[in-house]
Chains A and B, each alone.
Chain A
Amino acid sequence: MSARLLAKTREDDLLSVRSLYDSYGAMLLGYLFEVVQDRGIAEQYLIDIFNEVAKTPANYNANGLSTLSQLQILARKKLAPYYTTVKDCGTEQRNAKSTTAKQNKYLSQMTPEQQHVFCGLHYHGKSIAMLAIEIQQPEDDIRKILKESFTLIRKANGHTGLH
């Protein structure tokens, strides 16, 4: 590849990353903050994520999954070491500091069990198997509880959905 073409490719890649950052940076930072509860640490994770995105920016616009979902999956991978230090949404200590349950209109409509499942999966990187053991219910029931959580989210948006 010629130097000029290489430079152009890099410029295009940087523009793609910038475009993803403009579209999803704020949403990702909000998600990261909910996990780490510290703006500085959340920002550092955001920088790390977009540096990773810069390696293959085209991948985030291509696959079957939505771009946000792909970026959140990447965020979860980056956050994996951090999850062990994070307290559950339901614990008092976390709630004292967290904005999650207080400001999240979706979570506030969920039962404690639904909150536990939704937060455990979305904000704390837990697996369905792990939650099944924690709340002593079969994995199928955990999926059902998760589904109920999404139904509430949709209702909160004024949609009944098709399923």
Chain B
Amino acid sequence: MAIQDYIESGVLEAYVIGAASADEVKELLYLKDRYPEINLALQQLETDMERIAQHMAIKPPPGTWDKIAQEIDGLILREDTEPDTFEQRSNRGNGYKTGSRYIEVEVESIYMRLHKN
């Protein structure tokens, strides 16, 4: 394959704009590592894309980051508080062979809900 023809074909442009097919992407990633001129051409195109993006940039409103951070915190909290899956105990009543039968609980509320097994 003539590398210059490949560069001239427009497939690199299609790639940086996100319009290349899966096969084209696979081929390009292979060729990019093999031929420095393709890698260089690709870098230049990415710089072009960044220039366009900078030209059209709009500064986000002041509260936008706080909204993002809040939602990320929410996602983390949801992950942390996901309930454990129920497991059937095989030896009911034999779960306290060692250590204390009491657990320490620290809560802000004055009420406590107990579930007896």
Cβ A66 vs Cβ B50 within 8 A: yes
Contact B64 A104 (CB under 8 A): no
A131 to chain B, nearest CB (A): 9
**A contact residues around B91 at 8 Å (CB):** none
By a CB distance below 8 angstroms, the chain A residues around B75 are 51, 54
Given contacts A140-B9, A162-B40, contact A150 B48 (CB under 8 A): yes
| Chain B residues in 8 Å Cβ range of A8 | none
Q: Which chain B residues numbered 88 to 108 have a C-beta less than 8 Å away from chain A?
A: none
Bound-state Cα–Cα, A39 to B29, Å: 36
Q: Which of A47, A105, A122 contacts B71 (CB 8 A)?
A: A47
B59: A residues at CB distance < 8 A: 26, 29
B84 within 8 Å of A (CB atoms): no
A4 within 8 A of B: no
Whether the pair A73, B18 counts as a contact (CB closer than 8 A) is: yes
How far, in angstroms, from A65 to B61 measured CA to CA in the complex?
28
Decide: B46 and A66 in contact? CB cutoff 8 A.
yes
Bound CA span A106–B54, Å: 12
Q: Is A37 part of the binding interface, using a Cβ–Cβ cutoff of 8 Å?
A: no
Q: State how many residues of chain B have any CB contact under 8 Å with chain A.
A: 43
Q: Is the CB of A26 within 8 A of B60?
A: yes
Check B72–A54 contact: CB distance below 8 A. Answer: yes
Given contacts A150-B45, A154-B48, contact A29 B10 (CB under 8 A): no
**Given known contacts A31-B56, A46-B64, A128-B19, A72 and B49 CB-to-CB distance under 8 angstroms:** yes
A81 near B: Cβ within 8 Å? no
Q: In the complex, how many angstroms separate the beta carbon of A42 from the nearest chain B beta carbon?
A: 8
B19 engages A30 (CB within 8 Å)? no
User: Which residue of chain A has its CB nearest to the CB of B11?
Assistant: A143
CA distance A30 to B29 in the complex (A): 28
Q: How far is the CA of A128 from the CA of B25 in the complex (A)?
A: 14
Of all A-B residue pairs in the complex, the 3 with the closest CB atoms, nearest first, are: A143-B10, A27-B53, A147-B10
